[in-house]
Amino acid sequence: LDCQLLIGADGARSRVRDLAGIEFSENNYQQKAIVCNIKSLQGFKDTTWQRFLSDSIIALLPLSEHQASIVWSAENTLADELMQLSKEAFAKRLSAGVEYRFGEFELVSDIQAFPLIERSAKDYVQENLALIGDAAHNIHPLAGQGVNLGFSDIIELSQQLQSSSKPLGDYSTLRNYARARRLDNELMAKTMTGLNWIYKENNEPLRWLRGFGMNIINENPTLKSFLQKHALGNS
């Protein structure tokens, strides 16, 4: 392969990263993300929705008026149990898990499961090479921030390349991109790890802390707006 700049945007199991010999650190959450597509006659009202249960987290992303994609994050034991269910039984368990807020669900795809592992490449760049998105870092999906980090990587890399007068794959230019993005990416990763721990543990003090924290956010419009903007990458 002969090019000025190769961008690795090929996901958490990046072949580009591996072929470049870039090492990475990882933290296995001992959890799995169960994913599938569902439909509901009641509809989803264009609303992304998330429910924190005592033993798992269910996230729902509308695809159309009556179809949505779900990510159900759970400890390995529970995830394996859910994966053994028939499609009909899984749909009923899922409907009950979100308290039938959207009526009865019907699965419209196969059910798949993926291990949840936080990874961070030790180097985002080499001469003529840059990693972005999950190829450089991937985090727990509980707040859906992985895609926003990837978008921020793209914006920063584009800005660095456009403002540089050096050749396209110049290492110093690419290093500027890596330095600009690493802190934000690692901060978000550690935040998601902390939130996962807070919601995973089910003792009384942590239940109180969760409720207290959410009440503070909901009652403080300025804080709520700041957190929303940061989550969208607008801070």
Q: Which of 115, 149, 176 is the last residue of a domain?
A: 115
Instruction: CATH number of the domain at 17, please.
Output: 3.50.50.60
Residue-wise pLDDT tens digits, 166-196: 999 999 999 999 999 999 999 888 888 877 7
Q: Which residues contact 107 (CB under 8 A, 6 or more apart)?
A: 36, 37, 38, 87, 90, 91
Instruction: Specify the number of domains making up the chain.
Output: 2
Residue-wise pLDDT tens digits, 107-142: 999 999 999 999 999 999 999 999 999 999 998 887
Is residue 218, in this structure, part of any structural domain at all?
no
> Which helix (H) or strand (E) segment is 69 a member of?
strand 67-75
Count CB neighbours of 90 within 10 A: 20
Residue 207 has pLDDT above 70, yes or no: no
Residue 223 has pLDDT above 60, yes or no: no
Q: Output DSSP code: residue 12.
A: T
Partnered with residue 129 across adjacent β-strands are 6, 126
Query: According to the per-residue pLDDT averaged within each range, which of 51-60, 82-91, 205-214 is highest?
Result: 82-91
Q: Which two tokens stand for residue 126?
A: 């080499």
Structural domain for 130, as ranges:
6-23+123-202
pTM over 0.85: no
Give the span between the Cα atoms of 42 and 79, in whole angstroms: 27
